[in-house]
Amino acid sequence: MKQLILILLLTLFTSTLFAETYEAPLSIYKDNYILAGDKTDQVKFQLSLKYNLLWPFNSGIYLGYTQLTHWWVYRERDTMNTMYQPEVMYRFASGNNMFNNYIIPYVDYMQVSPFSHCSTGVEGLDHRSINMFYGQIQVSAGEIYNFGTNLKVFGYYAKDPENKDINDYKKNYTADFFFKIRSKEVTYLDKEEVHFSCGGSPVGKGFIQGELIFRIMTTYVQPRAFIQYYKGYDEFFTTYTQKETCIRAGLIFLD
């Protein structure tokens, strides 16, 4: 486990370091961050990368990998609860695609996955596993002050007996509403973000989440400060039936 985490961290660092030099086949996928809470919330971190399966061609066909870990580090003997999420997907990025960089107004990207897996990677009482397919779209408006939403809908191929009622908590969608500032010409502000997301049934067996991202100093050096609030079910696979209220703060590594 520790060797895998080290390899992923090194890969993330090198892909970020050379991202502006050339279009590398390996790049950041979802948010990469490390957060710390109190003795109840503990530490949470996520590593996420995608690989262009037909590199150097800009095909939009990727292999994605995301690893989300809840780390009980404030103990004499620390333990980890990890979700492993490999997937295959096609992404149509507006203005950066194989169709002569075709632009769809207000659409940032559209993405579909014929196969997305999520499991705990262990056997016994903590074993959880699902296989899914999904469609996703992100739309936004504004060059500097950017408002938008990201909607993801999904279905299931298979659910393990240990989590056969997972759809009572996840339902079939997640939605993220965001505001971003993304211009180096705005003094002291660049890549600041506010997110509000939800899934399932937010007033029942679902979740709501708020996030704030901002620069630590008035420079363009990564990483950024990251504050995350989560309330609801399904934050972690092994405890998806338990309602949690957590607030954590740490660092996020943006592309």
Calculate mean pLDDT across residues 219-230: 83
User: In percent, how much of the chain has pLDDT > 90?
Assistant: 55
Residue predicted with more confidence, 162 or 220: 162
DSSP 137-168: EEEEE-SSEEEEEEEEEEEEEEE-GGGTTTHH
Whether 91 has a pLDDT exceeding 90, the answer reads yes
Query: Is residue 28 very low, low, confident or very high in pLDDT (cuts 50, 70, 90)?
Result: very high
- Which CATH number describes the domain made up of 2-253? 2.40.230.10
Per-residue pLDDT of 179-202, as tens digits, reads: 999 877 777 777 899 999 999 886
Residue 153 CA to residue 164 CA, distance in Å, equals: 19
Query: Is residue 13 very low, low, confident or very high in pLDDT (cuts 50, 70, 90)?
Result: very low
Query: Is residue 78 very low, low, confident or very high in pLDDT (cuts 50, 70, 90)?
Result: low
Domain ranges in the chain are 2-253
Element housing 177 (H / E): strand 173-181
Per-residue pLDDT of 145-181, as tens digits, reads: 999 999 999 999 988 888 889 888 888 999 999 999 9
Task: Please tell me the predicted confidence (pLDDT) of residue 219.
Answer: 61
Task: Please tell me the predicted confidence (pLDDT) of residue 221.
Answer: 62
The sign of the torsion formed by the CA atoms of 120, 37, 173, 151 equals negative
Task: Please tell me the predicted confidence (pLDDT) of residue 126.
Answer: 78
